[in-house]
Amino acid sequence: MTKNIIVAGSINIDLVYAVPHIVKEGETIHSTKHDLFFGGKGANQAVTAGQLGADVKFVGSVGADDHGIRAKENMERKGVNTEAISSQGATGQAIIQLSDVGENSIVLFPGANFLVTPEQIKESKGIFETSDILLLQLEIPIEAVEQAAKLAYENGTKIILNPAPARDIPNSLLQKVSILTPNETELELLTGIAADSEENLRKACHVMLEKGVNAVVVTLGSKGAFYMTSEESGFVAAQVAEAVDTTGAGDSFNGALAVALCHEDSLIEAITYATIVAAFVVTRMGAQPDIPKEFIR
Ligand code: ATP
């Protein structure tokens, strides 16, 4: 049976410019190559889940502009229902300079993502009633994230919160979360504990469990992931991969985790599946590569 996932979050266009060096104040330089990638944490997670066979509905906002039309078309193509995406303002953009020596600098323009309101989320109440999982990140206003969590919680829908980009999170929101999925930096910001040893990693996860989340899954880049619930904890190793671009590794991990949990996999099985999908994604350029059918659940 197809499983229903709602993603409430951000949609961006990533404009990448290859440059000889990062532009300095007052300087004008020529870019030698330009690429447009589809991005935004919400969209990245949604298209991963969509490509893995889930029925995915997206709540969010793009601009009333060409980028917005293209971003929505891309999401539809990758299995995401875009009916609850509104058009207002200008589409969110990340303007990325990539230098010859691999340095980058990014200007992030949130645009329409910051125009998502709790009222817009409430208007999509109907789709929360039929969903198995709500997947959230922190690139739309926190009030909108809280409203989505409230609707899901009232329906008994499992909530996965990827607390990225890092910021403080109200306890009232954490208490509704089934699985919190920080990376090490985000976990440190949330707890004040640097995950520089297994002992500290465990301490930090404990802090989050005490704040009310049911499970913590910490992504550790090429080291894989660590999980903790009140009953069990442990590491799941990353799959070996020839990484060419790790942008969006965490997003594909979250999208795949949601899909596996919809199929009632155990937490460890779901994390293992997520590491397999993320290991594929890091071998391709961009945060939303085509995922082969063999990964479908
Ligand atoms: P991003 O912000 O770029 O989306 P992140 O910091 O949220 O990334 P990471 O912890 O870097 O997320 O990676 C998420 C998951 O992707 C890891 O738990 C791991 O399973 C997989 N992964 C990341 N890097 C590699 C790699 N080099 N090789 C294999 N798997 C990787």
Count CB atoms within 10 A of the CB of residue 97: 19
| Catalytic-labelled residue, pool 55, 168, 196, 251 | 251
What atom in ligand 1 is closest to the CA of residue 220? 10
Q: Ligand 1 pocket, 148 CB below 6 A?
A: no
Q: Ligand 1 pocket, 286 CB below 6 A?
A: no
Closest CA to 249 of 16, 48, 82: 48
Q: Ligand 1 pocket, 261 CB below 6 A?
A: no
Rg (CA), the chain: 18
Q: Ligand 1 pocket, 166 CB below 6 A?
A: no
Task: Write the CA distances from 26 to 23, 241, 248, integer angstroms.
Answer: 8, 41, 32
Residues 168 and 150: their CA atoms lie apart, in Å, by 18
Count CB atoms within 10 A of the CB of residue 90: 16
Summarised one tens digit per residue, pLDDT across range 22-77 is 999 999 999 999 999 999 999 999 999 999 999 999 999 999 999 999 999 999 99
Report DSSP letters for 203-258, one per residue: HHHHHHHHTT-SEEEEE-GGG-EEEEESS-EEEEPPPP---S--TTHHHHHHHHHH
Taking the centre of ligand 1 as the mean of its atom positions, its distance from the CA of residue 279, in whole angstroms, is 8
- Can you give the pLDDT at residue 69? 98
Q: Consecutive sets of 10 residues in the chain, 297 residues long: mean pLDDT of each?
A: 87 96 96 95 98 97 98 98 98 94 91 98 94 97 98 96 96 98 97 97 98 98 98 97 92 98 96 98 92 95
- Can you give the pLDDT at residue 2? 60
Q: Ligand 1 pocket, 224 CB below 6 A?
A: yes
Three-state SS for 161? strand
Active site residue 168: no
Q: Which of 10, 244, 253 to mutate to test the pocket of ligand 1 (most atoms within 8 A of CB)?
A: 253
Q: Which of 137, 183, 268 to mutate to test the pocket of ligand 1 (most atoms within 8 A of CB)?
A: 183
Nearest CA to ligand 1 atom 5: 250
Does 77 appear as a known binding residue? no
Contact 41, 14 (CB under 8 A): no
Whether the complex's predicted ipTM surpasses the cut of 0.90: yes
